[in-house]
């Protein structure tokens, strides 16, 4: 009897468990509690601004301006060399990047396309958001600017590249270099049409924010793209409209362009924001963004003088020597030398120590050259060993606009007109009037003069390698021989290698893509 009751009880309770169960059909639908669904995003003006900020943030990764992109731009010039033990890095300037090892150049490729993906999200999703029309226009204008900027880097580095303009497809076919530049210009033109000249005085969540892309930035980059594609007339007109905005002027102290002391200044047309104060302290090399990522650059530790960082990139003696070609009006050495290079000079201090004392026991270092631009070496820091530099990277300075404009004048037959704009840049550092020193130059002489001016003004700023290529020096035997005499890294140049190889993963996964010649 007892047995029977117990048995029934057990069976009944078990059946109860079975019938109702502890997993219901509702339980079978689970949503991710850790991240918000995309379905709930892209609804408000706040979402639009956040989406745009994310597109900017791709500028801060290892592949972009945290480290790789400055190296890729700098090392191929005759102003810089690399003795890095990291073969992938050492080979950048030696025109010998390996297809099999996509370190550094492949990271730039990867990261710029992540930036394009984020910009495309804004361009695709924001138009449908109901929000303030002016803010929406600014958001979209900046997204066009950023897509143009990332794509500029891709075309510039890799020549024939995919051009993703939508979110629909996963694979985007390879396009020609000309198609690439056309898209870059179209994006910058859109941006220029939509953006304000300044964020000062506007109303909205972006009011007064330094570092956002402006009409001037879009126009300057449009002009640069026109110049790179040898549309001198178009570029000339575009640079004129930059100057006519009336918001830019050169800063009096040249070194203010390379330290934290005077960031986002009047000379800055567009700069990437870095800061030790904002964000966490983890190094945000790339990958899935995390809340503790810092917003700092690893450029300084990579370029730093021996003992203060890794010394992977160093100025060339050709650069050092060229600074001595012309003294200032007062008979001094060009002050840009000391702003650019550490060398054996009495009284020079680096990171609070005397250069000569620090390297006294190491003659090899004492008589070597080290990067000074963009280093935190003025005394506030003992070294760069924590990897975290807060110095903004100035991508485009007004000085560049002036010299590019001068080049347009020279190329469009107005060589005499170029003097004025070159001299603005020379005068800041006390160089004598060019019209007096070298009057009546021919167009060809003026080209060389502009090359010299740009070399010294923008040393270690990543412009030289672009200039060498767009001026056709690789195809000019005399110029190439001259470059080899200045920087032995050019000895291993082979045709086609002014561009980087397209990374192997892209080759392996994107059907029909063709590798750049020379690799």
Residue 440 touches other proteins, criterion: CB under 8 A: no
Tell which one of 68, 114, 156, 297 touches other proteins (CB under 8 A): 114
278 phi and psi, to 5 degrees?
Answer: -90, 145
Q: Give the tokens for residue 267.
A: 């000379």
CA distance 188 to 183: 9
Tell which one of 1, 168, 203, 291 touches other proteins (CB under 8 A): 291
Tell which one of 41, 44, 249, 433 touches other proteins (CB under 8 A): 41
Tell which one of 211, 234, 335, 417 touches other proteins (CB under 8 A): 211
Residue 473's alpha-carbon distances to 181, 303, 498, in angstroms, are 20, 27, 10
Q: How many residues does the chain have?
A: 519
Residue 99 touches other proteins, criterion: CB under 8 A: yes
Residue 166 touches other proteins, criterion: CB under 8 A: no
Residue 173 in contact with residue 119, Cβ under 8 Å? no
CA distance 149 to 156: 10
Q: What are the residues whose beta carbons fall under 8 Å from the beta carbon of 106, sequence distance 6 or more?
A: 503, 504, 505
Tell which one of 72, 75, 161, 404 touches other proteins (CB under 8 A): 161
For 201: left if phi > 0, alpha if psi spans -120 to 50, otherwise beta; the answer is left
CA 330, distance to chain mean position in Å, is: 36
Q: Give the tokens for residue 306.
A: 């021996």
Residue 390's alpha-carbon distances to 288, 296, 381, in angstroms, are 22, 5, 12
CA distance 219 to 230: 16
Residue span binding other proteins (CB under 8 A) among the ranges 109-117, 230-238, 340-348, 468-476: 109-117
CB of 377 to other proteins, least distance (A): 16
Of the two residues 111 and 425, which places its CB atom closer to other proteins in the complex? 111
Of the two residues 287 and 413, which places its CB atom closer to other proteins in the complex? 287
Residue 189 touches other proteins, criterion: CB under 8 A: no
Tell which one of 70, 77, 148, 164 touches other proteins (CB under 8 A): 164
Residue span binding other proteins (CB under 8 A) among the ranges 84-92, 186-194, 343-351, 420-428: 84-92
Q: Give the tokens for residue 447.
A: 């080209």
Total number of residues binding other proteins (CB under 8 A)? 123
Residue 374 in contact with residue 389, Cβ under 8 Å? yes
Of the two residues 48 and 441, which places its CB atom closer to other proteins in the complex? 48
Residue 172 touches other proteins, criterion: CB under 8 A: yes
| Interface positions, 301-320, toward other proteins (CB under 8 A) | 306-307, 310-311
CA distance 166 to 116: 10
Q: What are the residues whose beta carbons fall under 8 Å from the beta carbon of 289, sequence distance 6 or more?
A: 54, 57
CB of 445 to other proteins, least distance (A): 34
3-state DSSP of 169-216: CCCCCECCHHHHHHHHHHHHHHHHHHCCCCCCCCCCCCCCCCCCCCHH
Tell which one of 1, 133, 288, 478 touches other proteins (CB under 8 A): 288
Of the two residues 373 and 388, which places its CB atom closer to other proteins in the complex? 388
Residue 270's alpha-carbon distances to 113, 125, 225, 424, 482, in angstroms, are 20, 25, 15, 20, 33
**Binding-site string for other proteins from residue 377 to residue 416, where x marks contact by CB under 8 A and - marks none:** --------xxxx----------------------------
What CA dihedral angle connects 337, 339, 343 and 344, to 10 degrees?
Answer: 90
Residue 148 touches other proteins, criterion: CB under 8 A: no
CB of 109 to other proteins, least distance (A): 5
| Interface positions, 18-37, toward other proteins (CB under 8 A) | 18, 20-23, 27-37
CB of 252 to other proteins, least distance (A): 22
| Interface positions, 216-245, toward other proteins (CB under 8 A) | none
CA distance 234 to 402: 15
CA distance 431 to 273: 31
Residue span binding other proteins (CB under 8 A) among the ranges 205-213, 317-325, 339-347, 424-432: 205-213
Tell which one of 70, 141, 286, 462 touches other proteins (CB under 8 A): 286
Of the two residues 118 and 426, which places its CB atom closer to other proteins in the complex? 118
Of the two residues 267 and 453, which places its CB atom closer to other proteins in the complex? 267
Residue 130 touches other proteins, criterion: CB under 8 A: no
CA distance 170 to 294: 30
The strand pairing partners of 370, in sequence order, are 342
Tell which one of 1, 128, 290, 478 touches other proteins (CB under 8 A): 290
CB of 495 to other proteins, least distance (A): 9
Tell which one of 162, 180, 315, 462 touches other proteins (CB under 8 A): 162
Of the two residues 296 and 340, which places its CB atom closer to other proteins in the complex? 296
Q: Which residue has the tokens 């930035």?
A: 217
| Interface positions, 453-492, toward other proteins (CB under 8 A) | 488, 491-492
CB of 261 to other proteins, least distance (A): 13
CB of 434 to other proteins, least distance (A): 36
Q: What does DSSP assign to residue 286?
A: S
Of the two residues 90 and 425, which places its CB atom closer to other proteins in the complex? 90
H or E segment at 386? none
Residue 322 in contact with residue 455, Cβ under 8 Å? yes
CB of 112 to other proteins, least distance (A): 9
Q: Give the tokens for residue 368.
A: 């070597």
| Interface positions, 353-382, toward other proteins (CB under 8 A) | 362, 364-365
């Amino acid at each position: 009897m007892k047995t029977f009751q117990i048995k029934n009880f057990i069976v009944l309770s078990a059946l109860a468990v079975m019938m109702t169960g502890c997993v219901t059909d509702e339980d079978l639908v689970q949503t991710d509690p850790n991240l918000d669904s995309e379905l709930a995003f892209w609804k408000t003006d706040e979402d639009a601004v956040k989406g745009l900020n994310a597109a900017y943030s791709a500028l801060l990764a290892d592949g972009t301006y945290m480290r790789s992109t400055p190296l890729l731009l700098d090392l191929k010039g005759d102003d810089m060399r690399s003795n890095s033990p990291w073969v992938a890095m050492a080979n950048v300037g030696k025109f010998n990047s390996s297809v099999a090892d996509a370190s550094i150049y492949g990271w730039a490729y990867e990261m710029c396309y992540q930036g394009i993906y984020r910009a495309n999200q804004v361009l695709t999703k924001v138009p449908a958001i109901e929000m303030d029309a002016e803010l929406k226009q600014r958001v979209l204008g900046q997204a066009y600017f950023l897509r143009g900027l990332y794509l500029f880097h891709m075309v510039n580095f890799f020549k024939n590249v995919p051009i993703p303009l939508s979110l629909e497809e996963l694979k985007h076919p390879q396009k020609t270099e000309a198609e690439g530049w056309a898209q870059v210009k179209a994006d910058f033109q859109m941006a220029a049409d939509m953006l304000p000249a300044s964020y000062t005085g506007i109303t909205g969540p972006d009011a007064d924010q330094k570092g956002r892309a402006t009409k001037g930035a879009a126009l300057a980059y449009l002009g640069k793209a026109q110049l790179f594609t040898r549309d001198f007339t178009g570029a000339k007109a575009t640079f004129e409209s930059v100057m006519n905005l009336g918001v830019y002027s050169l800063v009096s102290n040249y070194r203010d362009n390379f330290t934290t002391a005077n960031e986002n200044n009047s000379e800055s047309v567009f700069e990437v924001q870095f800061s030790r104060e904002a964000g966490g302290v983890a190094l945000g090399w790339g990958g899935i963004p995390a809340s503790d990522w810092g917003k700092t650059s690893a450029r300084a530790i990579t370029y730093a003088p021996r003992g203060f960082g890794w010394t992977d990139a160093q100025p060339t003696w050709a650069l050092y020597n060229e600074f001595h070609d012309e003294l200032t009006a007062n008979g001094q050495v060009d002050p840009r030398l000391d702003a650019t290079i550490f060398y054996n000079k009495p009284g020079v201090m680096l990171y609070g120590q005397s250069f000569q004392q620090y390297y006294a026991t190491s003659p090899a270092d004492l008589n070597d050259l080290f990067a000074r631009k963009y280093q935190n070496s003025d005394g506030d820091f003992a070294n760069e060993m924590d990897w975290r530099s807060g110095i903004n990277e100035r991508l485009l300075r007004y000085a560049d606009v002036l010299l590019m404009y001068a080049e347009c004048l020279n190329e469009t037959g107005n060589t005499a007109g170029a003097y004025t704009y070159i001299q603005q840049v020379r005068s800041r550092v006390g160089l004598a009037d060019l019209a007096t020193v070298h009057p009546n130059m021919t167009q060809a002489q003026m080209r060389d003069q502009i090359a010299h001016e740009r070399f010294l003004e923008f040393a270690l700023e990543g412009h030289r390698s672009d200039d060498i290529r767009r001026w056709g020096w690789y195809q000019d035997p005399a110029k190439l021989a001259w470059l080899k005499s200045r920087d032995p890294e050019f000895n291993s140049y082979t045709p086609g290698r002014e561009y980087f190889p397209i990374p192997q993963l892209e080759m392996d996964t994107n059907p029909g893509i063709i590798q750049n010649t020379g690799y």
